[in-house]
Chains A and B, each alone.
Chain A
Amino acid sequence: GNSVTQMEGPVTLSEEAFLTINCTYTATGYPSLFWYVQYPGEGLQLLLKATKADDKGSNKGFEATYRKETTSFHLEKGSVQVSDSAVYFCALSPIQGAQKLVFGQGTRLTINP
């Protein structure tokens, strides 16, 4: 079946540090991959996406590259800010039933000034 595994949190970094949140997936065929972010008390916001192998999604300084050989979609940012503190979810959209997003367990990120 389809599944997503994220690195366990919580992750605590200092401002301006480099961020990596690991995400690997299991799926039939080549799904689309997404990163969503959830701020306290809010819903999910789409951060970035990639729809085919070797695609790089990017937004607000965050990047992730769709790697089919390692079935991974790791999230990176070169210099984090306090405002990046949130919970980050990796998700896949399967080939069959595209609207049935499968989510990882989420990674809570805290950035200290």
Chain B
Amino acid sequence: KAGVTQTPRYLIKTRGQQVTLSCSPISGHRSVSWYQQTPGQGLQFLFEYFSETQRNKGNFPGRFSGRQFSNSRSEMNVSTLELGDSALYLCASSLGQATSTDTQYFGPGTRLTVL
């Protein structure tokens, strides 16, 4: 079974631009979560989508948004990029069970650099 895939793997943007990242979950998984990883803040939860609806949300500004399609693929968008948005963005997929035993599997990440 194929794992979680993310595209692109690397991105370079300038301040003020916007960016869209894509994530394809493991076949059969209905939940997609997004995380930001930085050296200073570590791994932080952005949001989770399940059945095309945002089900959980972290503490990030509204510049960070996402969506999920009917095939469970998800996109994350960051508008008006800031230097501090430079990070590794990780996508994770899971069955989406509403219990703590639900296990997330991560993709390789998209490395975003904002200049």
Query: Count of B residues near A, CB < 8 Å?
Result: 30
Chain B CB within 10 A, most for which of A97, A99, A104: A99
Shortest beta-carbon distance from A57 to chain B in Å: 11
Known: A31-B100, A51-B101. A99 touches B107 (CB 8 A): no
Residues on A with beta carbons closer than 8 Å to the beta carbon of B31: 99
Shortest beta-carbon distance from A9 to chain B in Å: 13
Residues on A with beta carbons closer than 8 Å to the beta carbon of B100: 30-32, 51, 92-95, 98
Contact A101 B90 (CB under 8 A): no
A interface footprint on B50-77 (CB within 8 Å = 1, 0 otherwise): 1000011010000000000000000000
B interface footprint on A61-95 (CB within 8 Å = 1, 0 otherwise): 00000000000000000000000000001011111
Contact B106 A45 (CB under 8 A): yes
Known: A43-B90, A100-B45. A36 touches B58 (CB 8 A): no
Nearest-neighbor residue (CB-CB) of B101 within chain A: A51
Residues on A with beta carbons closer than 8 Å to the beta carbon of B109: 42-43
Expressed in whole angstroms, the Cα–Cα distance for A95 and B107 within the complex equals 24
Query: Count of A residues near B, CB < 8 Å?
Result: 28
Whether, in the assembled complex, A34 has its beta carbon less than 8 Å from a beta carbon of chain B, the answer is: yes
Contact A46 B105 (CB under 8 A): yes
Contact A46 B43 (CB under 8 A): no
Whether, in the assembled complex, A103 has its beta carbon less than 8 Å from a beta carbon of chain B, the answer is: yes
Contact B33 A97 (CB under 8 A): no
Residues on B with beta carbons closer than 8 Å to the beta carbon of A100: 33, 45, 48, 56, 58
A residues neighboring B (CB under 8 Å): 30-32, 34, 36, 42-46, 49, 51, 89, 91-95, 97-106
B residues neighboring A (CB under 8 Å): 4, 6, 31, 33, 35, 42-43, 45, 48, 50, 55-56, 58, 90, 92, 94, 96-109
11 example contacts (A-B, Cβ-Cβ < 8 A) are as follows A34-B103, A44-B90, A91-B43, A97-B56, A99-B50, A100-B45, A101-B33, A101-B92, A102-B45, A103-B43, A104-B42
